[in-house]
Structure 1
Amino acid sequence: MEPYAKDRPLHELQQAFLDLRFGMFIHFNMATFQDREWGDPTSPPDLFNPTHLDTDQWAEAAKSAGMTWGCLTTKHHDGFCIWPTATRSASVRHTAHKTDVVRAYVDSFRKHGLKVALYFSILDLREDIRHFDVTPDKIQLIKDQLTELFTHYGEIDALIIDGWDAPWSRITYEEVPFHEIYGMLKKLQPNCLISDLNASQYPPSGLYYTDLKAFEQNAGQHLPEESSVPAFSCVTITDGWFWRQSDVDGPLKTTKQVVEEWLVPQNARHCSLILNAPPTREGRFAPNVVERLKEIGQAWKHGGPTAKIRPTTVITTSNLATGRPIKASSSPDTVGPDLANDGNFNSSWYPDSGRTEAWLEVDLGANRSFNTLVLVEPVGKWKDYQESRIKSYRFQAWSGGSWHDLVVGNSPQRVQMHEIPRTKADRLRLHIEFTDPIPHISEIGVYDEPRS
């Protein structure tokens, strides 16, 4: 992949990422020294003490597997930073050795011709950044730490963010404002892809709060057969994410499983695989991990560029239609139009039977501005709903005493995203035409994205 030019179009950056095909996740942080998956946030900084850190070995092992990029856990959920942050957080700056692991990693991977990505957790147990306990000061701490990572370590190709809007953290995109931080990062490094590791809960064919769709296989998230958006899938070569003492002689994922079950089929579906290889407490990969990575490289060869993707809209702001007053042309008993704007993609509204057209109307409030419209249909949710049931649709805005078309479509998919010129309206209507069977609407999306 050629060096990024300034401000490359997003779909070109996504395509370049997919062309990388195979990367190395490196979970190495406080939890490494505790035999835990999440580090103990009360641990003293000096517990983090890699005695023989060898990031060149990491890079060489990645290359032996045919990998082309890496991603390092700069800060996991316990909040310990493995770079010498100037913020108040505990970090390697507070250890005797003061080793900047992030610097060593980026230098080694670039020296070996590998692209570099970073991982950063929004959830921070040391600083008590949790749901219902987020303050402006804590938001600024997050921004300051990300600014350090984006200004001190050269060009970062991708950032994987964790702990945001996850069922186990519950920190919402509003508590820690996603679009503010996303915009800040894009100003610092316009060509860095920003991926939220937990955004897979949204419909798989839409990019909500992420430039790259993420599927964490260890958490039971699997790439859908019909996936068409740029994505990565992550899995571990050991049982867990961080190294444990039992991994010295423990089982590793087989070469056959990595190559034949994950790498080859996922590459064919617009997805890059990132395989986690955890360093030991020394800061090196164990011999069995090194050997398995070599075997993978012998069994799989980089196949060159992947199939081309289509440009996809990225949603970074809140849905202006969620929870607003809504009415419909008709609804069966027990089904209300509010099921189409309740923020739950698993619920849906549908019209009465015996009809061939219907509409939903949302009261947005006093003259709201928006520039992105989304229609979500539950295609694939049920065995008898494997393709769109909508013949055609149109989004309309109320203006000057009548309805005016904003978008007209006749080739629905599960998620239809439309970028339009910024518009002001107090009411929005979705009109659909169909035959039999009756279509369902999971969500109407109305967004004001910060596009230039």
Structure 2
Amino acid sequence: MNKLIISSVMALASLTASAQSTVKAPAPILPLPEQKQIDWQRMETYAFIHFGLNTFNDREWGYGDSDPATFNPTRLDCEQWAKTLVAAGMKGVILTAKHHDGFCLWPFEGNDYNVSRSPYKNGKGNIVRELSEACKKYDLKFAVYLSPWDRSRADYATPGYLPYFYAQLHDLLTNYGDVFEVWFDGANGGDGYYGGAKDSRTIDRKNYYNYPHIFAMLDSIQPNAVVFGDGGPGCRWVGNEKGFAGETNWAFLRKNTVYPGYPNYPELQYGHADGDQWTAAECDVSIRPGWFYHPEEDDRVKSPEQLADLYYRSVGHNATLLLNFPVDREGLIHPTDSANAVNFHKMIQRELQHNLVAGMTPKVSNERGGEFTAKAMTDNSWDTYWATADGVTSATITFDFKKPQLMNRIMLQEYIPLGQRVKKFAVEYLDGKTWRSVEQGEETTTIGYKRLLRFRTVEAKSVRVRIIDSRGPICLNNVGIYYGGKDAQLTWNPTAEAIKSLPFAILSADKAEWEKATDRNPQTVWFSKGNEVLIDLGSEQEISALQYLPDQSEGRRGLIHTYTIAACDAKGGNERVLKSGEFSNLQNNPILQTVTFNATKTRYVKLRAERMVVAGEAMGFAELGVK
């Protein structure tokens, strides 16, 4: 190559670099996460360990009156815990160093209600230290749960308890290495039991503990620890213990609004769209019905399919998944729990293994330019992202394949260091000359750190993502499209053993017929009379979702187009509308419809078809569920 060509190439490269450097990044949109919050959310899945006197006394909430001598694990092995969690894909573990009963899993010098008073290692054991050392050995992050409530203390609910609690916290934070999270339970007394005796003491949950003092202590000792609480400030409770966040999930809360015992806790599933504090959701759930080990639950461990479903509804809904393992009475994670968790991790790895659009450059309707190009969405880098120009809050991203591809998963990520932005989006595939939605509805809401959509397998040569509305210029750093296999489950697999609905009856209908909608057999269909179904839950229950699987036969009869879901009385009157909307694209894609709404208590639920896909047809239900 002659000198003139070399000179020209170098000049062009210089001009290109100069042009890129002149394109400014989008301005941040408040609220913003701290770096430790970003690092925490990128962990995605981590474990909870509930273990203590409750394990040996068959309790969930001990009263603080159990004899420490009953704490006697004979094979306790924290390295077994750590190796199991690593194999299950967990990035860290949070230990219940002290639960509500006040029993400490470390030899805290400020009390005599701790592991040193037990037979374990002849009183020389320290489970906090043993687990923190196992975490270092197996490259797991370590964290602690310390219940603010303490039923073993006579001075609880008085000012005299606070120095004791602060001393416990200081001890845990200074003697066991770095912790990635500090977990403060929202259960904070008020039930009238302390030390096994009935007592009427209650506390002012907002002010009793002096949380500003606690947070200052944490920042001074463990500045990289994220603080969990109902309202944060580091991360928030998701408002349930079922392990899922809302499909709409903002990483924001209104500052100084949520506190332990917050009465409107169901809204924590969704966050506050107008929030001014970055407080993303953590979805806590146990692999068993209980948080502590109970032998009778050995056959009730969540299956790999159930756990995978929770992953998509937690991590895939802009949250993290905190999965609890109740250590058994020998001091080990039970083999069933271990096997199911490991197989869940393998299932997720398999379903999201091959990104069909890796390295592709999609077509975009708008591009900011410089380094913020469409190519950045498929380079598998966290730090590069595509962005639109200032003022552009809607755009399309189109992937064209050389030949049709099977697909049933899509992953989207926003570059959250600049804030969460997307309010509404849609994913569509090209069917001939028609763009069709891959999901149950035409439009979806938030993205945030990560959004994962599951849908019935389609074969398409083109896929597009339409960002319909955003709080500012769009910033996406990763997009993935996957084929999880022909057996990859959808949001709710009605034939899976794991699926459970609240029990209910259909009023004013023949039970022999409507039971076809609850038999977990998608080939049997119940056709209702009229345009309303009145559901009786048997007693008042808290519900937050209705699930509807339409007719799966080739004929696809009885498809509901537009619906209203309402709480009501036994005759269907006094309606409180919970959700109205449209079941879109059922004729072409008759997948399970999951309608979520703000949690509410009711005994009776009404589903009304405002319009049918084919006018005059009776409503058809392959399956119906209420959660």
Secondary structure of the corresponding residue to residue 184 of structure 2: strand
Q: Does 1:53 align with 2:76?
A: yes
Q: Does 1:223 align with 2:245?
A: yes
Alignment partners' CA distance in 1, 2:190 and 2:170: 27
Q: Does 1:292 align with 2:325?
A: no
Provide the residue aligned with 2:127 in structure 1: 101
* Aligned with 1:123 (options 144, 149, 159): 149
1:192-341 residue pairs with structure 2 within 5 A? 192-196=225-229, 199=230, 208-215=231-238, 217-218=240-241, 222-229=244-251, 230-248=280-298, 250-259=299-308, 261-301=309-349, 307-309=414-416
Seen in structure 2, the aligned counterparts of structure 1 residues 267 and 126 have a Cα distance that, compared at 3 Å, is same
> Which of structures 1 and 2 has the larger relative contact order (alpha carbons within 8 angstroms, sep 6+)?
1
Seen in structure 2, the aligned counterparts of structure 1 residues 146 and 244 have a Cα distance that, compared at 3 Å, is same
Deviation sequence 1:56-95 (CA, Å, 0-9, x none) = 1111111111111111100000000000101125111222
Preserved contact between residue 15 and residue 308 of structure 1 (Cα < 8 Å): no
Alignment partners' CA distance in 2, 1:287 and 1:216: 30
Secondary structure of the corresponding residue to residue 252 of structure 1: coil
Counterpart residue type for residue 308 of structure 1: Y
Say which one has the larger Rg. 2
Alignment partners' CA distance in 1, 2:33 and 2:41: 12
Secondary structure of the corresponding residue to residue 281 of structure 1: coil
Preserved contact between residue 270 and residue 307 of structure 1 (Cα < 8 Å): no
Q: Does 1:64 align with 2:87?
A: yes
Alignment partners' CA distance in 2, 1:280 and 1:15: 33
1:178-189 residue pairs with structure 2 within 5 A? 178-189=211-222
Preserved contact between residue 66 and residue 300 of structure 1 (Cα < 8 Å): no
* Aligned with 1:20 (options 32, 37, 43): 43
Secondary structure of the corresponding residue to residue 326 of structure 2: coil
Secondary structure of the corresponding residue to residue 300 of structure 1: helix
The alpha carbon displacement at 1:185 in A equals: 1.3
Preserved contact between residue 105 and residue 126 of structure 2 (Cα < 8 Å): yes
After TM superposition, the structure 1 stretch with the greater mean CA deviation from structure 2, 222-231 or 186-195, is 222-231
Seen in structure 2, the aligned counterparts of structure 1 residues 112 and 76 have a Cα distance that, compared at 3 Å, is same
* Aligned with 1:141 (options 145, 161, 164): 164
Counterpart residue type for residue 15 of structure 1: I
Preserved contact between residue 120 and residue 159 of structure 1 (Cα < 8 Å): yes
Alignment partners' CA distance in 2, 1:153 and 1:311: 34
Preserved contact between residue 291 and residue 326 of structure 2 (Cα < 8 Å): yes
Alignment partners' CA distance in 1, 2:215 and 2:186: 15
Provide the residue aligned with 2:438 in structure 1: none
TM-score w.r.t. the length of structure 1 is 0.60
Seen in structure 2, the aligned counterparts of structure 1 residues 217 and 238 have a Cα distance that, compared at 3 Å, is same
Provide the residue aligned with 1:112 in structure 2: 138
Preserved contact between residue 134 and residue 176 of structure 1 (Cα < 8 Å): no
Secondary structure of the corresponding residue to residue 321 of structure 2: strand
The alpha carbon displacement at 1:29 in A equals: 1.0
Preserved contact between residue 69 and residue 118 of structure 2 (Cα < 8 Å): yes
The alpha carbon displacement at 1:46 in A equals: 1.6
Alignment partners' CA distance in 1, 2:283 and 2:189: 17
The CA RMSD measured in Å over matched residues stands at: 2.7
Preserved contact between residue 234 and residue 274 of structure 1 (Cα < 8 Å): yes
For structure 2, the 5+ residue unaligned runs are: 1-31, 192-201, 252-279, 354-379, 383-412, 420-576, 581-627
1:378-393 residue pairs with structure 2 within 5 A? none
Preserved contact between residue 148 and residue 188 of structure 2 (Cα < 8 Å): no
The alpha carbon displacement at 1:383 in A equals: 5.5
Counterpart residue type for residue 210 of structure 2: P
For structure 1, the 5+ residue unaligned runs are: 1-8, 200-207, 313-380, 385-452
Work out the number of aligned pairs and report it: 294
Preserved contact between residue 149 and residue 189 of structure 2 (Cα < 8 Å): no
The alpha carbon displacement at 1:216 in A equals: 5.6
Alignment partners' CA distance in 2, 1:258 and 1:129: 41
Percent of residue pairs identical: 27
Secondary structure of the corresponding residue to residue 227 of structure 2: strand
Alignment partners' CA distance in 2, 1:307 and 1:16: 15
Counterpart residue type for residue 127 of structure 1: R
Counterpart residue type for residue 336 of structure 2: N
Alignment partners' CA distance in 2, 1:86 and 1:10: 37
Provide the residue aligned with 2:223 in structure 1: 190
Counterpart residue type for residue 240 of structure 1: G
Preserved contact between residue 149 and residue 188 of structure 2 (Cα < 8 Å): no
Secondary structure of the corresponding residue to residue 243 of structure 1: coil
Provide the residue aligned with 2:175 in structure 1: 152
Preserved contact between residue 56 and residue 108 of structure 1 (Cα < 8 Å): yes
